[in-house]
Amino acid sequence: MASQPLPKVELRELGNTGLKLSCVGFGASPLGNVFGPVSDDEAIGSVREAFRRGINFFDTSPYYGGTLSEKVLGKTLKALGVPRSEYVVATKCGRYADGFDFSADRVTKSIDESLERLQLDYVDILQCHDIEFGSLDQIVNETIPALKKLKEAGKIRFIGITGLPLGIFTYVLDRIPAGMVDVVLSYCHYGINDSTLEDLILYLKSKGVGIISASPLAMGLLTENGPPEWHPASAELKSACRAAAVYCKERGNNISKLALQYSLSNKDISSVLVGMNSINQVEENVAAAVELATIGKNEKILAEVEAILKPVKNQTWPSGLQQS
Ligand code: NAD
């Protein structure tokens, strides 16, 4: 008897880029040991399983693990030998282990270093990383024009910007010609505890910008194991998320599954980037996406969890120079 094909995650168009991204994207910051040590075998196993289940989008940065994430992802992609046209790699520039530098000179050198570590000839998306820590006027007047030259040189295909405060995106997009920035990567703003990205979606669509939403598990807040030591949330937010995780577990549900399904439900978001570092996590996250597409999410438990998180809804934390 022929075996059933494995259910795969759906693909979604990314703005005007023509790229089709898996709705679950592979966040590779954990490959830089950001959430604890990951062996080469675990890294290769997770990425192999991701490909098997239809995940084609991988996001990294020279900042994650002080270049380790890029190196491990590069080694892993090479070991698996998947044809280059079958996956999309995004990396970043401007944020490094030794600080921020969004100058044209630094980002121009940075892409060559990233390509070497990733063992690639080009990346699909190069994103200015956490621009709220730099001068937004420099991003507009110097960094994005430098990235445009990299695009013309064929080292990158598309340009993105990332960061936490949502005002940074409108500040930049209102000051550059349409089409200069292809992608926005927002994080921790489209999840059960914080859904403020929703207010920006129509604006981003009107600008023709593709939307990627990262950290559906709020960087570990919405997991049974809880967040890492460095997590910037307030004690109140951490405690509410812990209570929500326990509530789900006691009723035979998993907070991470529910949280990912919540983020995936909005189809204006092309890809939801989840940090993954084990085969098991890839399997669980793909299963959550497939269940959402076939059966739907558990609306009753979601409403109960939303009620637990209501006192901290949309609570965030400061990030960057607070200039916008
Ligand atoms: P996340 O919300 O995806 O949480 C990741 C944590 O959840 C890790 O500890 C991971 O091991 C764990 N996890 C994953 N699947 C799980 C499951 N099924 N059950 C239990 N735990 C699970 O946060 P993140 O990793 O910070 O974000 C995802 C990715 O988005 C990053 O890896 C990065 O690529 C990108 N990102 C970018 C920016 C930026 O550009 N400024 C910021 C944040 C995240």
Ligand 1 binding pocket (C-beta < 6 A) is: 27-30, 35, 59, 129-130, 162-163, 185, 187, 214-220, 223, 256, 273-277, 281, 284-285
* Ligand 1 pocket mutation, candidates 223, 231, 269, 272, criterion most atoms within 8 A of CB: 223
ipTM over 0.95: yes
**In the chain, beta strands by DSSP E:** 11-13, 20-22, 24-27, 57-59, 88-93, 95-96, 99-100, 123-128, 156-163, 183-187, 210-214, 271-275
pLDDT digits (tens, 9 = 90+) for 13-30: 999 999 999 999 999 999
- Ligand 1 atom at minimal distance to the Cα of residue 30: 32
- Ligand 1 atom at minimal distance to the Cα of residue 163: 41
The per-residue pLDDT for 324 is 46
- Ligand 1 atom at minimal distance to the Cα of residue 28: 32
Which residue's alpha carbon is nearest to atom 43 within ligand 1? 187
The conformational region for residue 234 under phi > 0 = left, psi -120 to 50 = alpha, else beta, is: beta
pLDDT digits (tens, 9 = 90+) for 206-252: 999 999 999 999 999 999 999 999 999 999 999 999 999 999 999 99
Q: Quick check: is 64 catalytic?
A: yes
Catalytic position from the list 63, 64, 96, 187: 64
How far is it, in rounded angstroms, from Cα 65 to Cα 86? Answer: 26
The per-residue pLDDT for 110 is 98
Domains (range + CATH), the chain: 11-224+263-282 (3.20.20.100)
The per-residue pLDDT for 196 is 98
Integer CA distances (angstroms), 227 to 110, 267, 280, in order: 30, 27, 18
How far is it, in rounded angstroms, from Cα 186 to Cα 321? Answer: 17
Which residue's alpha carbon is nearest to atom 8 within ligand 1? 275
pLDDT digits (tens, 9 = 90+) for 25-56: 999 999 988 878 889 899 999 999 999 999 99
* CA 26–ligand 1 middle distance (angstroms): 9
Which residue's alpha carbon is nearest to atom 26 within ligand 1? 219
How far is it, in rounded angstroms, from Cα 73 to Cα 170? Answer: 32
When pLDDT is averaged across residues 246-270 and rounded to a whole number, the result is 98
* CA 176–ligand 1 middle distance (angstroms): 30
Examine the pLDDT at 175 and tell me if it is beyond 80.
yes
* CA 205–ligand 1 middle distance (angstroms): 25
Which residue's alpha carbon is nearest to atom 6 within ligand 1? 220
How far is it, in rounded angstroms, from Cα 13 to Cα 16? Answer: 8
